[in-house]
Structure 1
């Protein structure tokens, strides 16, 4: 069994096509098909069902695929560790972030990282804070940026606090409240809201604040993207509460100070266990000392 055969299986599984898999792997289709046939013979089971219209995994193929991916990841990590031992950082880096990160200039950090370590391939995942914590625990994301209420802390991961920021009210420029210098939660509670989905960390910041004040509110629109949330607010479909530092990047809306507003804390998190050289190098670019990254 060879690593190249595993790469071919993964490529076919991800493209559902021997032709597209061969193009991805930069080989002729006959060579790819021959290697997969050899592997199937060695395993004593067919990995794919082939028809004139589609290619799909057999039950044996579905069982083989996760292990094949793990083997390829282990081989890639082994090569990266050897490269790091001789002073070269390469491999892959998976970074997760919430849409409203404001404490770090993510594009700027990635640009600096690419300039220092051009042989590392970086992938980005945007998601909710709670989901990103789980992905770091599982190892599918190596470094992530979160925003949590002041009452919460990331659990099961290493972390560093980046910044604290108060939430402000965000309204359309022609909204009746737009000229107010400041308001309170009670005044806001009578408005229709646009917010993040229920039970997410970003939503909890506002929910907890209104609940603590003994107030309820009407959330008419739930969206997962903070930029789209602001677009809905700009069209007068509702008001929102967002971190002040993030709102400063937006256009087409008006912000109002909220005297009893909740706050959020931005964190950077990473695995408490072993890290790839690529992840350690990224933490270094972000100013996380090696001693802290190794904690």
Structure 2
């Protein structure tokens, strides 16, 4: 019997392909785009979903002339469908690995300012060695990536955390430690300084990451520990956008020293009492796909790390 939180069926006739169709419609909000993604004609996809709805005894989608959206039953089915497809993919990958072939998927997550590993080069090397693996890449905040690794949505992730924080609920390996530096526009009044303090910076307008992110916490904790406050006028999620705003003289920022050489149009200054950050690579405590194992091996990561 197939069971979800709100729907069930007795004959076990739900097919993996039907699940793929439901996921595609849910992610594209369109039967037409879902059919294009799945490489089938729309009538065939619509027929299979209608058949599934009859078998389940519940509507999965609300259809209007303007949009398609999940019903509560559809949302429940979507969660279970993703879990089933992921389990099927993992099973196929494990069978392939047993006969010496690595295939399946490798989902990698990273923060925008990762600097300890050349990600494009590492993925390029992996693709050469394991061409049958489908690689995907997602950029996000450290705390979001940790949760996605726990949930199985991402296999391996690269994080940056304050020295007061460690990844929890996942396996982790420390890659590097780095200090933050001040980033200002070339014509800023501090641009010619060799080194400054947090107190000097505290009177400036700041560009930074959103509140409650690990990247923002590094600076917030440092200023608070020094008994200082600052004005963060611009909150953005992209390091390149941070640099763009700084370059236009709209504020100053603090970024990892190993990352800022990638930026142009800004000047960096050492901060003598700057906070530090630690870069980690993390992977699941629960399960590790053959592709994830192979990728960690390429990076020479010891798998026994906690």
Gaps of 5+ in 2: 1-12
Pairwise CA distance, 1:221: 1.3
Pairwise CA distance, 1:176: 1.0
Q: Say which of 223, 226, 235 aligns to 2:239.
A: 226
1:102 aligns to what SS in structure 2?
coil
Q: Deviations over 1:3-45 (max 9, x none)?
A: 2222222223333333333322222333333333332332233
Farther off after superposition, 206-215 or 263-272: 206-215
1:1-295 to 2 correspondence within 5 Å?
1=13, 2-289=15-302, 291-292=303-304
RMSD: 1.8
Aligned equivalents of 2:69 and 2:233: distance in 1? 42
Pairwise CA distance, 1:199: 2.0
Aligned pair count reads 293
1:161 aligns to what SS in structure 2?
strand
Aligned equivalents of 2:142 and 2:96: distance in 1? 33
2:262 aligns to what SS in structure 1?
coil
Pairwise CA distance, 1:54: 4.1
Query: TM-score, normalising length from structure 2?
Result: 0.89
Pairwise CA distance, 1:136: 1.4
Which segments of structure 1 move beyond 6 Å, counting only runs of 4 or more?
Answer: none
The 3 A distance-change label for structure 1 pair 197 and 52 is closer
Aligned equivalents of 1:288 and 1:83: distance in 2? 23
Aligned equivalents of 1:218 and 1:54: distance in 2? 42
Gaps of 5+ in 1: none
Pairwise CA distance, 1:110: 0.9
Query: TM-score, normalising length from structure 1?
Result: 0.93
Q: Deviations over 1:58-111 (max 9, x none)?
A: 443333222122211111111111111111111112111110001110111111
Pairwise CA distance, 1:226: 1.1
Pairwise CA distance, 1:50: 4.2
The 3 A distance-change label for structure 1 pair 20 and 213 is closer
